[in-house]
Amino acid sequence: MTNKTIIQLDNIEKKFSTEDVETYALSQISLNINSGDYIAITGPSGCGKSTLLSLIGLLDVPSAGKYVLSGHDVSQISRDERAAIRNEHIGFVFQSFNLISDMTVEENIALPLSYRNNIDQKQISHLIDFALEKVDMQHRRKHFPSQLSGGQQQRVAIARAIAGKPALILADEPTGNLDSKNTDAVLELLKKLHNEGTTIVMVTHDPRSAGQANRQVEMFDGKIVADQVVSAKNSAA
């Protein structure tokens, strides 16, 4: 794995304005993320972790500062351009799984793929197979989310995130709603993806989850207050 910089955040600021208050959710954020990094972002509730992940994932735009993604300045691009880049290069995993309840497992995984140009049903079907096999959920292809346990739903959400073979996975408290057994299964899966070359940025409250990453970024009050490379404690066999 090379240490190529894929994400460069330079003096990023994010301000939310409501009727009478302005909240600086992020200020003076400068962060370089290298290909192959597995970063854990920690910090108290409300310190800006999810906001930072949304900006990295092009779900939102900074109020100020520069964001360069794979050599392209994406600080000022349009909503459509952001959506296209997101769809091709970034996979998201959320605490609450965010599966669509009236779609089956395979339909949930197919949905983001179906927005791509130059992809046909057969290719989509292959990618669904690939993703379900990775998370060991092939036997639940026709099930609906409500027919699955929380741990299984999160595995399907991970399958949806990886089906398009993104270079970057962003996970916001991915184990926050899971018991310890399912937490372990999800962490193991992320570790495997990392070992296969995927860059991962994970927001977490859980020290055990954070301990799996090889770089620890700590936030406080909208700022990065620590950033250190560590050797992962429980690397996969």
Q: List contacts with ligand ADP (CB under 6 A).
A: 16, 18, 23, 25, 43, 45-51
Could you say whether residue 50 binds Mg ion (CB under 5 A)? yes
> Of 46-54, 111-119, 123-131, 211-219, which segment contacts Mg ion by CB under 5 A?
46-54
Give 12's strand partners: 29
- Exposure string of 142-156, with b = 16+ CB inside 10 Å and e = fewer, is ebbbeebeebbbbbb
Between CA 209 and CA 214 the distance in angstroms is: 11
Conformation bin of residue 41: beta by default, left when phi > 0, alpha when psi is -120 to 50: beta
Q: Name residues whose C-beta falls within 8 Å of residue 80's C-beta, 6 or more positions apart in sequence.
A: none
Nearer to ligand ADP, 13 or 107 (CB): 13
> Of 49-57, 76-84, 99-107, 131-139, which segment contacts Mg ion by CB under 5 A?
49-57
Nearer to ligand ADP, 45 or 101 (CB): 45
For residue 103, what are its two tokens? 């779609």
Nearer to Mg ion, 153 or 204 (CB): 204
The site partner of 51 among Mg ion, ligand ADP, none (C-beta below 5 to 8 Å per kind) is ligand ADP
Cα Rg, the chain, nearest whole Å: 18
The site partner of 168 among ligand ADP, Mg ion, none (C-beta below 5 to 8 Å per kind) is none
- Give the nearest distance from C-beta 95 to Mg ion in angstroms: 8
The site partner of 45 among ligand ADP, Mg ion, none (C-beta below 5 to 8 Å per kind) is ligand ADP
Nearer to Mg ion, 151 or 174 (CB): 174
Q: Nearest CA to 84 among 99, 69, 96?
A: 69
Site for Mg ion in 174-213 (CB under 5 A): none
The site partner of 214 among ligand ADP, Mg ion, none (C-beta below 5 to 8 Å per kind) is none
Nearer to ligand ADP, 12 or 109 (CB): 12
Strand order in the sheet with 223-229: 90-94, 168-172, 199-203, 38-42, 215-220, 223-229
Could you say whether residue 153 binds Mg ion (CB under 5 A)? no
The site partner of 47 among ligand ADP, Mg ion, none (C-beta below 5 to 8 Å per kind) is ligand ADP
Q: Nearest CA to 75 among 22, 123, 8?
A: 8
Following DSSP, what letter does each residue of 171-233 receive, concatenated? EESTTTTS-HHHHHHHHHHHHHHHHTT-EEEEE-S-HHHHHHSSEEEEEETTEEEEEEE---S
The site partner of 25 among Mg ion, ligand ADP, none (C-beta below 5 to 8 Å per kind) is ligand ADP
> Of 44-52, 91-99, 119-127, 223-231, which segment contacts Mg ion by CB under 5 A?
44-52
Interface positions with Mg ion (CB under 5 A) = 50
